Structure 1
Amino acid sequence: MRFGLFGTGPWAQLTQGPALARHPGVDLVGVWGRRPDAARELAGHLGTRAYEDADALIADCDAVAIALPPDVQAPLAVRAARAGRHLLLDKPLATTVPAAREVAEAAQASGVASVVFFTLHFTPETAAWLAEQGTKDGWVNGRAEWFAGIFAPGSDSPYASSPWRRERGGLWDIGPHALSVLLPPLGDVTGLDAVGAARGPGDMVHLTLRHVSGASSTVTVSLGVPPQASSMTAVLRGTPGIVTLPDRDDPGHVAAFAAAVDALERAARTGDPHPCDVRFALRVTEILAAAEERLGD
């Protein structure tokens, strides 16, 4: 599958680019970025060419992999889908419902395959756990807590200077991961009026959700806790007992993204949609937007 890589930031450099360049089933056609110098530099590291025009790269590939801020990603994904290119996107799909819906509608109209990189669904340990819990009935409650120190004083994270993360906070950066864990086993929310939200210190946000299964769940996310307070936890309770999301290998993002490439190839070849496609990502955006509205943002 001929891929075009869109984006030149840390995520493209550390995860998407290496995964695509090393994948035996991928021909990495080229790189496009908003900064031409950065695109040339990254293309050189990856052994491919830099494109100055995004539409020219879209025209030369079968699929696009996008490592750009969500509200830059969405319109670019629409252009790619309308050109008949398969979509390997990042979360969140967009930070507004209309933008996310436009991507989903463009993908459906063109019949292209799509996969959105909800990391835990492509990491072996957590993917197996999620698949297993989805086969069980009787869940009554879920809890997901994601605490990261990206914005803590002295952080050396390559994402600490990300403008969109600074603006939107943990709700939009980590919230999609949390929802991707809770929605498959517990079911969709009963409606956007079933979403509650409250603020904590800094960018911390607490969510409450009611699910169509009858279960309830809570989510807490933050990018600004002290490093020693960082953790990632998800717990389900119900008739099957109490189960906890297993630890995942770290760093494992390159291997996980390669698994997402495989998933897109299967979806494109078989026509069977992947559970983490743009329609699922649209629903995640709808829930997060409802939460943001409750917060008064």
Structure 2
Amino acid sequence: MTLRVGLLGTGPWARLAHGPALAAHPGVDFAGVWGRRPEAAAEVAGMFGTRAYADADELIADVDAVAIALPPALQAPLAARAARAGRHLLLDKPLADTVEGAREVVDAVERAGVRSVVFFTLRFDAAGAGWIAAQAAAGGWFTGRADWYGAVFGGDDSPFADSPWRREKGGLWDVGPHALSVLLPVLGDVTAVTAARGPGDLVHLTLRHDSGASSTAVLTLTAPPAGAGVAIEFRGTHGVATYPDGLDVPARDAFARAVDALIGGEPHACDARFGLRVTEILAAAEELLAGV
């Protein structure tokens, strides 16, 4: 099956992951690119030998599916429009920046009967996904942690340092979805959330899960580069399971597996409804941090 796919977005992630994976995928006809800046759309289209669209709805009308690489506040309404037009969705995390926006996407997907996949990077990395699945199958965990110390704004030379939405929303919304994408399949859905601030954008989460287990997450984009990294572990009746060192996640390869999941046609655990659940947890934490 060949899927005619259009790309909405022209930023670093579109250039590093979405564009290369779509252009190389044997099951994809990469139909074109739309961006908020026509010159950027033309540049990205030229990089991957496809067409630049001046209008997002024109692109949506020409394809079977859309891949979206836009800030969450823009992704959600465009995704809902595409779903209502009968287009399958390959989305980025977080699904939206509000619960209402995420629900709109889920409602549109379910009413139209289209497929959706949300790109949580570790869940589409072969080695990482295998490790997560093994911990979920083992069970018996009473606690876990998933800490993301990003250095996007900590002095590192990151291509995402100019991202306004990341500066506004911080690590909670950018790397928080990664942490939740590991904790939820292993420990179960979240039933209670507490949150506290640290320096900069750093947030500490403590979560209770429906399995009875608890977990923590430290989330930031402002770690000093020397202190950056990811730490994931679970503790329980089997001992301690620690995410293996050296499991790099090539974004292009992981995104290609997300494309495989969309083309395959079977429902995926990381669909729009899972994206909504992650958004609900992040929003609950944000309300606590704001003192609401």
CA distance in 2, matches of 1:247, 1:43: 36
Match of 1:87 among 75, 86, 89: 89
- Does the 8 Å contact 1:143/1:236 carry over to 2? yes
Which position in structure 2 is the counterpart of 1:174? 175
Please report how far the alpha carbon of residue 124 of structure 1 lies from its aligned counterpart in structure 2 after TM superposition.
1.3
Q: Which residue of 2 aligns with 1:234?
A: 232
Q: Percent identity at matched positions? A: 66
Structure 1 residue aligned with 2:61 = 59
- Which 4+ residue blocks in structure 1 deviate beyond 4 angstroms? none
| Structure 2 SS opposite 1:283 | helix
Deviation at 1:250, TM superposition (A): 3.8
The aligned residue for residue 286 of structure 1 is 280
Question: Could you tell me how far apart the structure 2 residues matched to 1:186 and 1:117 are?
Answer: 20
Partners of 1:239 and 1:159 in 2: how far apart?
A: 40
Per the alignment, residue 277 of structure 1 pairs with 271
- Structure 2 contact 80–109 (Cα < 8 Å) conserved: yes
Counterpart position of 1:110: 112
Given the superposition, is the C-alpha separation of residues 141 and 157 from structure 1 closer, same or farther in structure 2, using an over 3 Å criterion? same
Q: 2:146 matched to 1:144?
A: yes
CA drift at 1:231: 1.0
Query: What secondary structure is seen at the aligned counterpart in 2 of 1:31?
Result: strand
Q: Which residue of 1 aligns with 2:11?
A: 9
Superposition TM-score, scaled by structure 1 size:
0.95
- TM-superposed deviation, 1:180: 0.4
Secondary structure, aligned partner of 2:190: coil
| Counterpart residue number, 2:21 | 19
In the alignment, the residues of structure 1 paired with residue 246 and residue 141 of structure 2 have an alpha-carbon distance, to the nearest angstrom, of: 23
C-alpha displacement of 1:80: 0.4
Q: Is the 8 A contact 1:125 1:247 kept in 2?
A: no
Deviation at 1:240, TM superposition (A): 2.2
Unaligned runs of 5+ in 1: none
1:106 Cα offset (Å): 0.6
The CA deviation at 1:132 is 1.1
- In structure 1, distance between residues paired with 2:135 and 2:249: 24
Output the CA distance in 2 between the equivalents of 1:247 and 1:11: 24
Q: What runs of 5+ residues in structure 2 fail to find an aligned partner?
A: none
SS across alignment from 2:172: helix
Give distance in 2, aligned partners of 1:158 and 1:28. 24
So what's the TM-score if we normalise by structure 2? 0.97
Offset, 1:251: 5.8
C-alpha distance in structure 2 between counterparts of 1:240 and 1:105, whole Å = 40
Letter in 2 for 1:289: A
Instruction: Name the SS for the 1:135 alignment partner.
Output: helix
